[in-house]
Amino acid sequence: MTFSGALSIDGRPASRRLLGCTGVSCHYGGVAAVREVDLYINKGTCLGLIGPNGAGKSTLLNAVAGSGSLSAGQIEFDGHAITGLPAYEIARLGAIRTFQSSSEFPHLSVMENMLAAERYSSERHTFEAVFLPKSWKGKEQKSLRRARDYLARFGLSHMEDEYAGSLSGGQKRLLELARALMAEPIMLLLDEPTAGVAGPTVEILVAHLKELSKDGMTILLVEHNLQVVEDLCDSIAVMALGEVIAQGTLDEIRRNEAVISAYLS
Amino acid sequence: MNEFLNALSAGVVNASVISIATVGFSLQFGITNYINIAYGDFLTFGAFFWYAFAVGLGVELWVSAVLAVFGTGLMAVAVSRGVFTPILRRRATKPFILMIASFGMAVMLENILLAIYGSGFVTIPARGNANVISIGGFQLSGNQLSVVVIVVVVMFGIRYLLTRTKLGKAMRAMSDDDQLAQNCSINTRLITDWTWLITGMIAGIAGCVLALQTVNINDTSGSSELWLIIPASFAGGIGNPYGAVAGATTLGFGIALTDTYLGGQYDIIVGGLLLGAVILLRPQGLFASARKALV
Amino acid sequence: MSYLLIVGIFVVTNMIAALGLNLQLGFGGIVNLAFILFFACGAYFTAVFTIGPPGSSQDHLLAQTYLFGARFPWPFPLIVGVLATIALGYVVARLLFRNERDDFAGLAAVAIFLICWNAVGDWGGLFNGWNGLSAIPQLYQSISQGGYESQTEMAVYLGVCVVFAVGSYWYCQRLILSPFGRSLKAVRENRAAASALGINPNQATRKAFIIGCALAGLSGGLFVQGATVWSPSTWALPETVALIAAVILGGRGNNFGSIMGIVFFQGVLNEGAHLIPGSAQNGNLIAATQWIVISLTTVLVLWARPAGIFPERKRIWPKDIDRGLERPDQISAESLARSLDSAGETK
């Protein structure tokens, strides 16, 4: 499965900037959690964002996703200026995020979780919803098939009718990812997707993410697990105390003095 | 000018009466992190306990008042342990569930009083001190002055409690982060009980003050104050007992001025305007930070 | 017999209100403690457009003062009532949903209710103050401009109410099974996650709120022409608890449950209260007992079985949607999955 716009004519991912953060700062009541960060992600690449606790990684991801408190700077996504836009609008532009703690809709079935992500759900007016069912029933059928494809791909088909809240931790993560894909993202913002997940499931998750990446998906990955970062990411940015202190490949990062001192201190 | 000063002194009295209740209401939310709409009815119970002791049992008037205050505090603990804690312990209860439960309790408490005492008014024979005392240009009766004194005492008492006592510090810890407080081996159940006891007693005081002010009380006297308590606590930042006083004072003065210059039926505009202004301009209140604040 | 008809009208109109509340509380997770305000809005506006100008009512001894005052034929007053309630709902929605916490909105709702309730009571020019409106013409009276209604006419009115109730039930079911219903439930479950999928949470909540209020207004407008009187004492703050109790007992997020909840509270409870010893002498005792039972039930249900008697139904879809398609060579979901799996293995 490939994702629209990710391939150039010769079949290789087009090297174009998809996400650009310039001078981004985030303040929480006087404390600068993120300071003047410049960060760029090219289309079709996977950028890993690592750093010690409290470095501001999740804060930065929240700011990009529109749910954080951006106090300065500009963010551009897919040619649109998204600074200050609310989270749902950024999601509609194609930047879909996941959460650190499980964020499934617990009292809805797995399939309903999937269908809730379908684009037309949010655009339907209540009049059409009730009086013009033909305008959305066809799309619902298509979405149903799409959802079943994804569920099958992620090994969740047998849980389709179960309450999402009754899934195991690992299954919830997979559901979150599948659900995110239903929203037709051109970029995924993953906030510690392997946090609290058992070993074997981590491998499954990484395998799926690798496949997505290969198909041209752009990914911003906040992670603590360096093995995962090594497997998935083309380049890595290291944050400490709210600033990006180094950026490059994993080898370059490993040799960087600033990084070493940040992790040791 | 005289009129204005009269309005101001009325404002001070209004503010004091509303303050006590609002402080208790805000404090309880600030520490337990859920809203209790039945608080208005705690006030009514305070007044009715006083009536029951003083008139029903014939106990001396001011002793009855003290007993009433304790009685209300104990009742609050009973409600907390009997109703809210069981619901709270049940799986992951959303805050609005507790709010509906407190709404249900409000109706229940009010109707228990209705069943016992009927819908008519009862009077507590408290004459108190009707002498008029002049301070500067203000004219207050002895009763009114006592009310102001009570408010000041309560406020200082709360400040002392929160800043100087071990219990108070534990309360603040719990209000900041319930989970963390538990991990630091603070007995949150005990603190909760103490919180309800103290705020319940404050409600009892407020109820007695209300009875002093309005003379006749019935089953809806306390909940009738909610339209004052809620905007005042919103204005001060819900959960912030100090802000509560500021909010109540604004409201009290606003109402006094409206009474003097526009007539009593327009009181509600003040409450409405204050509430509207706070909601539209700063939903978390004038004194709170983004989360609920208990300084 | 006419007593039963009146009770029937009360029960049926309350069902419509319960459906509206269920939409807000059960499906939307909105705690609108001011719900009865919207019921009252529908009732008042319907009444003042049915009753004619002040001073012209049939019983000239009543000196009522109120806004507007016209004598439109049914159903125009009802339509006005619903429209007025939608407008009020829109305004209140703007005030309520500004914060992340649901319970702040609930508290604000209580305050807004009390302020409006006191205003309507204190300002007689609006809707005749604390005394309220009386001698509101019933359905046939407002059409025929005639005298008091007979039983047949009342039965017809009950039938009209039933039609509206059935229509409201159909509407609510269709709404909740649609993509909008899904978005609404998603917002209720996890606001942040719903936003992250492109759902506008405030818009979904607001729409559910306004539709719920419209249903409240509709039921109020229908109710008032059955009751013929309407005053602030009939729509005090606890009245919302009565409806909440029905929705919570019947089942939050279950329209059938809400209907059943009303049947229990209005039907069983109301009549059962008369059996209490001593109730004939003490009218307050009946009322107090009814309210205590209502509130006690609410609290008990929230403790013992928060989902209610008829819990919200889980939505699942039929598995065999791919059978019976026009193109026989269409790949079925299972075989597509299988091919995907095998493709994964070779990578």
What is the mean predicted confidence (pLDDT) over A159-184?
93
pTM of the predicted protein model: 0.88
Supply the pLDDT for residue A241: 86
CA distance A174 to A114: 12
The DSSP annotation for A32-101 comes to EEEEEEEEEEETT-EEEEE-STTSSHHHHHHHHHT-S-EEEEEEEETTEE-TT--HHHHHHTTEEE--SS
CA distance A3 to B67: 74
Phi, psi of B270 (to 5 degrees): -60, -50
Supply the pLDDT for residue B295: 40
Instruction: List B134's β-bridge partners, or say none.
Output: B139
* Range B233-236 contact pairs with CB under 8 angstroms and sequence separation of 24 or more: B233/B22, B233/B25, B233/B26, B233/B29, B233/B285, B234/B274, B234/B275, B234/B278, B234/B279, B234/B285, B234/C107, B234/C108, B234/C111, B235/B274, B235/B275, B235/B278, B235/B285, B235/B286, B236/B22, B236/B26, B236/B285, B236/B286, B236/B287
Would you place residue A106 in the very low, low, confident or very high pLDDT band (cuts 50, 70, 90)?
very high
CA distance C337 to C320: 15
- Dig out the tokens for C19 from the structure: 């459906």
B35:C29 CB<8 A = no
ipTM of predicted assembly, 2 dp: 0.88
Residues C151 and C41 in one domain: yes
What is the mean predicted confidence (pLDDT) over A98-125?
86
Last residue of a domain, one of C186, C203, C236: C236
Supply the pLDDT for residue C155: 86
pLDDT beyond 90 at A221:
yes
Residues C221 and C290 in one domain: no
Q: Does domain B2-119+135-281 have CATH number 1.10.10?
A: no
CA distance B273 to B279: 10
Label the pairing between strands A70-77 and A80-81: antiparallel
Parent domain of C278: 237-342
Residues C139 and C284 in one domain: no
Q: How far is CA B276 from the centre of its chain?
A: 21
- Mean pLDDT over all residues of chain A? 86
Q: Is residue C25 part of a domain?
A: yes
Supply the pLDDT for residue B288: 54
B37:C29 CB<8 A = no
Question: How many angstroms separate the CA of residue C32 from the nearest CA in chain B?
Answer: 10
Which stretch of A10-14, A126-130, A231-235, B256-260 has the lowest confidence by average pLDDT?
A: A10-14
Would you place residue A121 in the very low, low, confident or very high pLDDT band (cuts 50, 70, 90)?
low
> In which element (H, E) is residue A246 found?
strand A243-248
What is the mean predicted confidence (pLDDT) over C57-82?
77
C33:B99 CB<8 A = yes
Phi, psi of C136 (to 5 degrees): -80, 125
pLDDT beyond 80 at C167:
yes
A235 or B265: which carries more pLDDT confidence? A235
Domain map (residue ranges) of chain A: 17-103+185-264, 105-166
In chain C, the residue whose alpha carbon lies closest to the alpha carbon of A204 is: C344
C85 or B154: which carries more pLDDT confidence? C85
Which stretch of C141-145, C308-312, C322-326 has the lowest confidence by average pLDDT?
A: C322-326
CA-based torsion, A79, A80, A83, A88: positive or negative: negative
In chain A, the residue whose alpha carbon lies closest to the alpha carbon of C320 is: A145
B234:C114 CB<8 A = no
CA distance B252 to B160: 25
- Dig out the tokens for C201 from the structure: 């949470």
The DSSP annotation for B214-257 comes to HSEE-TTTTGGGHHHHHHHHHHH-TT-HHHHHHHHHHHHHHHHH
The identity of residue B111, as a single letter, is N
Residues C160 and C217 in one domain: yes
C178:A130 CB<8 A = yes
CA distance B182 to B272: 40
Would you place residue C341 in the very low, low, confident or very high pLDDT band (cuts 50, 70, 90)?
very low
What is the mean predicted confidence (pLDDT) over C334-343?
46
Of A106, A111, A180, the CB nearest to C316: A111
pLDDT digits (tens, 9 = 90+) for C105-114: 888 899 999 9
Contact of C218 with C40, CB cutoff 8 Å: no
B44 or B146: which carries more pLDDT confidence? B44
Would you place residue B292 in the very low, low, confident or very high pLDDT band (cuts 50, 70, 90)?
very low
Of C178, C189, C340, the CB nearest to A108: C189
Contact of B82 with B68, CB cutoff 8 Å: no
Q: How far is CA A203 from the centre of its chain?
A: 18
Domain count, chain C: 2
Which stretch of A204-208, B63-67, B117-121, C336-340 has the lowest confidence by average pLDDT?
A: C336-340
Residues C178 and C310 in one domain: no
What is the mean predicted confidence (pLDDT) over C121-135?
84
In chain C, the residue whose alpha carbon lies closest to the alpha carbon of B90 is: C303
Query: Which 3-state string (H, E, C) describes C174-201?
Result: HHHHCHHHHHHHHHHHCHHHHHHCCCCH
CA distances (Å), origin C110, targets B291, C3, C92, C202: 21, 33, 12, 20
What is the mean predicted confidence (pLDDT) over C86-94?
94
In chain A, the residue whose alpha carbon lies closest to the alpha carbon of C186 is: A105
Nearest residue to C218 via CA among C38, C28, C21: C38
Supply the pLDDT for residue C154: 82
pLDDT beyond 80 at C16:
yes
Contact of A163 with A106, CB cutoff 8 Å: yes
What is the mean predicted confidence (pLDDT) over C3-14?
88
Domain map (residue ranges) of chain B: 2-119+135-281
Supply the pLDDT for residue A6: 46
Residue C120: CA count within 13 A, CB half-sphere: 22
pLDDT digits (tens, 9 = 90+) for A1-59: 344 444 444 444 445 889 999 989 998 777 888 888 999 999 999 999 998 887 888 89
User: Which CATH superfamily does the domain covering A17-103+185-264 fall into?
Assistant: P-loop containing nucleotide triphosphate hydrolases (3.40.50.300)
pLDDT beyond 50 at B52:
yes
CA distance C178 to C98: 26
Supply the pLDDT for residue A227: 87
Q: Is residue C347 part of a domain?
A: no
- Dig out the tokens for A193 from the structure: 């997707």
DSSP B53: I
Supply the pLDDT for residue A32: 83
How many C-beta atoms lie closer than 10 Å to residue A40's C-beta?
16
Would you place residue C229 in the very low, low, confident or very high pLDDT band (cuts 50, 70, 90)?
confident
pLDDT digits (tens, 9 = 90+) for B240-261: 878 888 888 888 888 888 888 8
Last residue of a domain, one of C236, C270, C302: C236
Contact of B279 with C100, CB cutoff 8 Å: no
pLDDT beyond 80 at C313:
yes
pLDDT beyond 90 at C145:
no
The length of chain B is 295
CA distance B290 to B292: 7
Which stretch of C121-130, C144-153, C320-329 has the lowest confidence by average pLDDT?
A: C320-329
Residues C243 and C227 in one domain: no
- Dig out the tokens for B72 from the structure: 């209300």
What is the mean predicted confidence (pLDDT) over C266-275?
70
Contact of A176 with A99, CB cutoff 8 Å: yes
DSSP B119: S
Supply the pLDDT for residue C312: 93
Residues 6+ apart with CB under 8 A from C282: B118
C76 or C147: which carries more pLDDT confidence? C76
pLDDT digits (tens, 9 = 90+) for C243-260: 999 999 999 999 999 999
- Mean pLDDT over all residues of chain C? 83
Supply the pLDDT for residue C126: 84
Phi, psi of A100 (to 5 degrees): -65, -45
Q: CA C151, C155, C161, C166: dihedral to nearest 10 degrees? A: 170
C292:B97 CB<8 A = no
Q: Is residue C241 part of a domain?
A: yes
CA angle, corner C94, sides to C89 and C95, nearest 5?
100
pLDDT beyond 80 at A212:
yes
In the block, residue with structure tokens 């228990």: B112
CA-based torsion, C66, C68, C70, C76: positive or negative: negative
Interface residues on C facing A, Cβ-Cβ cutoff 8 A: 171, 174-175, 178-183, 185-186, 189-190, 192-201, 204, 207, 211, 312, 314-317, 321-322, 333-334, 336-337, 340-341, 344, 347
